[in-house]
């Protein structure tokens, strides 16, 4: 039975969170430009990518310092 789009999204988010925790987060002045470029390449609005990045970074910081 194929996975639903919702389940695929859940799995993808778990993988992304795992990789961010394992590899760390690199932030620089170019980070926003990289997100804007990625937005164009994958066809996801830049605001949505920025919101997702913020939520992931906030979650990692909370886990690290709690």
| DSSP line for 18-51 | HHHHHH-----TTHHHHHHHHHHHHT--HHHHHH
So what's the pLDDT on residue 8? Answer: 97
Query: What pLDDT is attached to residue 58?
Result: 93
Model confidence pLDDT, tens digit, residues 13-53: 999 999 999 998 888 889 889 999 999 999 999 999 999 99
Query: Residue 7 above 90 pLDDT?
Result: yes
Break the chain into its structural domains and give their ranges: 14-65
* Whole-number pLDDT of residue 27: 84
pTM equals: 0.79
Cα separation, 26 vs 49, in Å, equals: 16
């Amino acid at each position: 039975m194929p996975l639903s789009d919702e389940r695929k999204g859940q799995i993808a988010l778990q993988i992304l969170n795992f990789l961010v925790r394992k590899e760390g987060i690199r932030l620089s002045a170019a980070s926003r430009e990289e997100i804007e470029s990625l937005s164009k390449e994958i066809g996801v609005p830049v605001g949505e990518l920025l919101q997702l990045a913020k939520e992931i970074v906030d979650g990692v910081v909370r886990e690290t310092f709690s």
